[in-house]
């Protein structure tokens, strides 16, 4: 059964909402970085309540994502399934990574990507509620 277009558009609008806020919040941090250091990439941490609230709603609880990658792997502790789900609307991408182990254990993580003005940005939520941001220039 195909996904209703309005449901997909709602999910993508949430992605854009979060992406716009990330752009706004990170802009000051990026202006303080040395462009030469960006060639190799830098990581820094950001603490922001508004980002945290929107992350929960727009990334973690966003129910519509397309299947991007699926793999079954054998490991020393048994087989497991790895799947990646993706939402993308240029220049924003959100990914959900799901691993299901043969023991029944399920692990889920999320990442948000932004590519703009020669900059690649990856955002992940840390367990303490802060955000780890990796930024690199790609020119």
| CB 60, CB 110: distance < 8 Å | yes
The residue written with tokens 């220049």 in the block is 91
82 class by beta-carbon count within 10 Å (0-12 exposed, 13-18 middle, 19+ buried): middle
Among residues 84, 79, 112, which one has the least CA distance to residue 97?
Answer: 84
Residue 4 φ then ψ, to 5°: -65, 130
The model's pLDDT over 59-93, given as tens digits with 9 standing for 90+, comes to 999 888 999 999 998 888 788 999 999 999 989 99
The residue written with tokens 């303490």 in the block is 128
Question: Is the pLDDT reported for residue 28 higher than 90?
Answer: no
């Amino acid at each position: 059964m195909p996904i209703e277009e309005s449901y997909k558009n709602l999910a993508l609008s949430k992605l854009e909402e979060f992406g716009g806020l990330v752009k706004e919040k990170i802009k000051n941090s990026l202006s303080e970085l040395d462009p030469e250091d960006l060639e190799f990439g830098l990581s820094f941490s950001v603490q922001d309540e508004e980002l945290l609230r929107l992350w929960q709603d727009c990334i973690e609880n966003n129910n519509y994502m397309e299947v991007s990658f699926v793999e079954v792997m054998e490991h020393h502790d048994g087989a497991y399934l790895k799947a990646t789900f993706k939402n993308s609307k240029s220049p924003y991408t959100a990914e959900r990574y799901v691993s299901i182990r043969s023991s029944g254990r399920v692990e889920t993580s999320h990442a948000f990507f932004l590519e703009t003005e020669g900059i690649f940005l990856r955002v992940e939520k840390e367990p303490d509620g802060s955000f780890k941001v990796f930024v690199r220039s790609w020119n």
